[in-house]
Amino acid sequence: MDVLVQLILNGIMLGSMYAIISVGLTLIFGIVRVVNFAHGEFLMVGMYAVYLLSLHLGLHPYVSAVPMVLMLFAVGALVQRFIIQPLLGADEHIQIFATVGLSTALINLALLVFGADLYSVQAPGVRQPLSIGGYTVLHAQVVMLASALVLVAGLHLFMQRTPLGRAIRATAQNRNAAQLMGVRVDRIYVIAFGLGAACVGLASALISPLFPVTPTIGTYFVLTAFVVVVLGGMRSMYGAFLGAMIIGIVDSLSGYYIAPDLKEVVYFAIFILILIFKPTGLFGFGRGTE
Amino acid sequence: MKVLIKAALAAGLALSAAPSFAQDAVRIGALYPFSGGLALLGDESFRGLELAIEERNAAGGLNGRKIEMVRGDAVDPNQAVGEARRLTSVDKVSVIFGTYSSSLSLAATQVAELAGVPYFELGAISDPITERGFKNVYRTNPTARIFANRMVDAVAEAVAPALGTDAKSLKVAIIHEDSLYGQTVAGYQQARAKEVGLNLVETLPYSAKSVDLTPVILRLKSAGADVVLQTSYQNDTVLFFRQMKEQGFKPKAVMGAGGGYSLRDTMQAVGPENMEGALNVDFTQYRTNPKAAPGIEEFVKKYEAKYGTAPRSGHSLANYMGAKVLLDAMAAAKDLTAPAIREAVMAVDVTEGTTATGWGAKFNEAGQNERATPFLMQWQGGELVTVFPADAAVAEIKTGIGAE
């Protein structure tokens, strides 16, 4: 029983990490309709930046969250403006190749600049275990969960209450109609891609104290993030959040009760079953979404 | 036109000059990854060979003949095959030394075997390299099976006595990353643990790309594991040590199979206070008693004089030792044909504790050195020191993980 509760707690904490990354990926996919294969590498770039800020300016990773969100927003916006936008009219595959190419280029650039060694960010106190009724969570994990909740709530308010949010939703629902209503679709795409990347900026600041950064660190997270996005219904932020929690808990439980090397098998099996029986994802809005 | 003539003349000169130059020199191939992702430790391995050959040349070469090295750059198995072909057919080397990486060695040795050129492996650990019935492949360094056996044996011979208990009363667990490296070593560990009758309570594979090893740690905790044997790369080693501390799991001993455990970066990422007491089995490192490894201090001095830095890992030392043993064998051979070299290598008989790595040398029919055993080391105060066997040790083995 004790172990079960600890595993579920751990799964929720893991889930909140996946949630922040996946919400960003969902924004990009749901609005710009581009599968961003470079998403994990954005995370890697963010984590190196957090490391450099901490090394040279002594910034605590959590303080670097602010510059990271801004920096990754800019990176995302630039990628959309100069790489994706020229390809928007092109075949879907071309866009995929563009993001895959970007991902490979970024990994190798990091190898060139930083080498294959790992770098670890110092963040005093953040890794301290917090004991709640005999169960262990880290301060960093609690911050992660709180941030994931605030992020989803914040994005919800932004999408529902602001004119820009409404324009983004309109563009996501029907690009042509939105354009006819006077929405500058190109600009919306740049903003949406930027927002999606900014989520990764937040994630990079929060993940840095937990994992050392290497050129391939993005690949550790991004495959799971894709599963989460599809599980959540491709375009639903809330779906992505809940999907991330489910994957986090399944990951944690199957790693213990089945076998650590089979946990991917378990959640990919769930993933395939969902694709067979509910192709729109657990929280998809039915066929009308496409 | 003039340029062309000049070039042709130069080429002609070079051609006519080449045979007279090579006449009395012995050509050997040096096949390592000099570029690409494996380049750092490939180059480090090569430096050991280079130092051994310079030493030999300074002492008059091979029976009065100078040794000349031809480099081959093997970035991946395909290129290893290409470069091995070039060395054997174009450069016509007498023997090839290599290779650091097992996948490169497995590919290159096939070419050399077909060409009938002896291949001296000084660093790759995959067992099948010397298990394919090849006549001309010899290896001086210990294999994955020897690593695994040393780890399991060390539990009984070093860890249990330090804890003051009987080895059979210890609950032993094996955890390993699930690619070829981890699978191979863990497979041999399981077999050996069964052989010596250890109480093996868990064997847990995991992906080296895991972002969370808590389930593994909770399994170990529920099983009440006293000793954990881990075969791992760098990231998963760091994650394991961090999460072990966070989950309050304190086994009596944790032992790694080289890989991530040997690297200073790992210790720094984990923190010296958390890595304190971690055991590790690997090629001989530099904090080893020179009485058991005579020449180790001189090697470091020579290395520093030539390259201007301290050795970056134990790979250069292992290659240096292997090259010296095999150059001696070549000097003893009646000529440099493959059968004569085989005869000479089979006659090699070096006792343990007389080389710079502390290994001895005695080759079996398959070409594997049976007197190469890795030492047991331990992280103490941010340094990786040899603790077992006693004559190679520079420090006492400590129990427990993490500073108190």
Q: How confident is the model over A99-153, as pLDDT tens digits?
A: 999 999 999 899 888 877 788 888 877 888 888 888 888 889 999 999 999 999 9
- A residues 74-93 closer than 8 Å to B (CB): none
pLDDT of residue B6 exceeding 80, the answer is no
Mean pLDDT, residues B116-142 taken together: 95
Number of domains in chain A: 1
On whether residue A241 sits in a domain, the answer given is no
Residues sharing a CB contact under 8 Å with residue B72, sequence separation 6 or more, in sequence order:
B29, B30, B31, B32, B80, B83, B84, B86, B87, B96
On whether residue A204 sits in a domain, the answer given is yes
State residue A150's pLDDT score: 96
State residue B152's pLDDT score: 96
CA distance B318 to chain A (A): 23
User: How do residues B24-82 score in pLDDT, each as one tens digit?
Assistant: 799 999 999 998 778 888 999 999 999 999 999 999 999 899 999 999 999 899 999 99
Report yes or no: A219 at the B interface, CB cutoff 8 Å.
yes
User: How do residues A37-71 score in pLDDT, each as one tens digit?
Assistant: 999 999 999 999 999 999 999 999 999 999 999 99
State residue B296's pLDDT score: 95
Q: What fold does the segment set B2-142+294-346 form as a domain?
A: Rossmann fold (3.40.50)
Contact A6 B218 (CB under 8 A): yes
- The overall average pLDDT reported for chain B is 91
State which residues form the domain around A109.
Answer: 20-222
Distance between CA A187 and CA A185 in Å, rounded?
A: 5
Q: Are B362 and B349 in contact (CB under 8 A)?
A: yes
Nearest residue on chain B to A115, judged by CA atoms? B37
Mean pLDDT, residues B122-145 taken together: 94
Token pair for residue B250? Answer: 């304190």
Report yes or no: A252 at the B interface, CB cutoff 8 Å.
yes
Residue A247 phi, psi (nearest 5)? -60, -40
User: How do residues A238-248 score in pLDDT, each as one tens digit?
Assistant: 889 999 999 99
**A to B CB pairs, distance under 8 Å:** 82
Contact B212 A138 (CB under 8 A): no
Within 13 Å and on the Cβ side, how many CA atoms surround B331?
A: 18
CB < 8 Å to B40, chain A = 116
Contact B212 A136 (CB under 8 A): no
On whether residue A90 sits in a domain, the answer given is yes
Mean pLDDT, residues B166-181 taken together: 93
Residues sharing a CB contact under 8 Å with residue B199, sequence separation 6 or more, in sequence order:
B168, B169, B170, B171, B172
User: A121 or A282: whose pLDDT is higher?
Assistant: A121
State residue B208's pLDDT score: 87
User: How do residues B197-227 score in pLDDT, each as one tens digit?
Assistant: 999 999 999 998 888 999 999 999 999 999 9
Residue type (1 letter), A87: L
On whether residue A227 sits in a domain, the answer given is no
User: A281 or A40: whose pLDDT is higher?
Assistant: A40
Q: Which of A228, A256, A264 to mutate to test the interface with B (most CBs of B within 10 A)?
A: A256
State residue A1's pLDDT score: 63
ipTM over 0.95: no
On whether residue A288 sits in a domain, the answer given is no
Q: Which of B38, B209, B232, B275 to mutate to test the interface with A (most CBs of A within 10 A)?
A: B209
CB < 8 Å to A136, chain B = 246-248
Q: Which of A230-239, B189-198, B276-285, B321-330 has the lowest mean pLDDT?
A: A230-239
State residue A285's pLDDT score: 54
Task: Say what percent of chain B tops pLDDT 70.
Answer: 94
Report yes or no: B382 at the A interface, CB cutoff 8 Å.
no
Element (H, E) at B55: helix B39-58
Contact B218 A256 (CB under 8 A): yes
CA distance A198 to chain B (A): 22
- As beta bridge partners, residue B139 has B121, B368
Mean pLDDT, residues A266-289 taken together: 74
On whether residue A50 sits in a domain, the answer given is yes
pLDDT of residue B19 exceeding 60, the answer is no
CA distance A144 to chain B (A): 15
Label residue B268 exposed, middle or buried (CB < 10 Å: 0-12, 13-18, 19+): middle
Q: Are A195 and A162 in contact (CB under 8 A)?
A: no
pLDDT of residue B13 exceeding 80, the answer is no
CB < 8 Å to A220, chain B = 209-211, 235
Report yes or no: B35 at the A interface, CB cutoff 8 Å.
no
CA distance B216 to chain A (A): 6
Chain Cα centroid distance, residue A142: 18
State residue B180's pLDDT score: 84
**Annotated domain spans of chain B:** 2-142+294-346, 145-282+375-392
State residue B269's pLDDT score: 87
Report yes or no: A117 at the B interface, CB cutoff 8 Å.
yes
pLDDT of residue B91 exceeding 60, the answer is yes
User: How do residues B323-369 score in pLDDT, each as one tens digit?
Assistant: 999 999 999 999 999 999 999 999 999 999 999 999 999 999 999 99
Contact B238 A252 (CB under 8 A): no
CATH class of the domain whose range is B145-282+375-392: alpha beta
B2-142+294-346 shares its CATH topology with B145-282+375-392: yes
State residue A134's pLDDT score: 80
DSSP class per residue in chain A: -HHHHHHHHHHHHHHHHHHHHHHHHHHIIIII----TTHHHHHHHHHHHHHHHHHHS---TTTTHHHHHHHHHHHHHHHIIIIIGGGTTS-HHHHHHHHHHHHHHHHHHHHHHH-S--B----TTTT-EEEETTEEEEHHHHHHHHHHHHHHHHHHHHHHHSHHHHHHHHHHH-HHHHHHTT--HHHHHHHHHHHHHHHHHHHHHHHTTTS-B-TTHHHHHHHHHHHHHHHTTSS-HHHHHHHHHHHHHHHHHHHHHT-GGGHHHHHHHHHHHHHHH-TT-TT---GGG-
On whether residue A287 sits in a domain, the answer given is no
Nearest to B212 among A14, A129, A212 (CB): A14
User: How do residues A181-201 score in pLDDT, each as one tens digit?
Assistant: 888 999 999 999 999 999 999
Task: Say what percent of chain B tops pLDDT 90.
Answer: 79
Alpha-carbon dihedral sign for residues B292, B293, B294, B296? negative
Mean pLDDT, residues B132-156 taken together: 95
On whether residue A154 sits in a domain, the answer given is yes
State residue B18's pLDDT score: 41
